[in-house]
Amino acid sequence: PNPAIAQLSIQLSANAVEETELSLISLIGENILQSRFKGNTHTISLPELPTGIYLLRLRSGDSFMSKKVYIQR
């Protein structure tokens, strides 16, 4: 996957009617960022995080997804 540098864009494949909860978590389990959004697309600015792999969690209603994200500085 392409690394994220200053921002992370999220595009959901399904029509999201409910609010989606987003969490960015370090590999040691530290909750780095939380956000909520409605709709199919969302862009977040990334704080000054060190280069590394993070876990992106999305939850909307009964649906849940986790994906690894590489942040490059």
Which of the four pLDDT bands, split at 50, 70 and 90, describes residue 1? low
List the single range of 16-20, 21-25, 32-36 with lowest mean pLDDT: 16-20
pLDDT at 12 over 90: no
What's the whole-number mean pLDDT along residues 39-58?
Answer: 90
Residue 22: the pLDDT is 95
Q: Is the pLDDT at 45 greater than 80, yes or no?
A: yes
Within 13 Å of residue 52, how many CA atoms lie on the same side as its CB?
A: 11
Residue 6 token pair: 């200053």
In 1-73, alpha helices (H) = none
Q: Which of 27, 23, 24, 72 is nearest to 50 (CA)?
A: 72
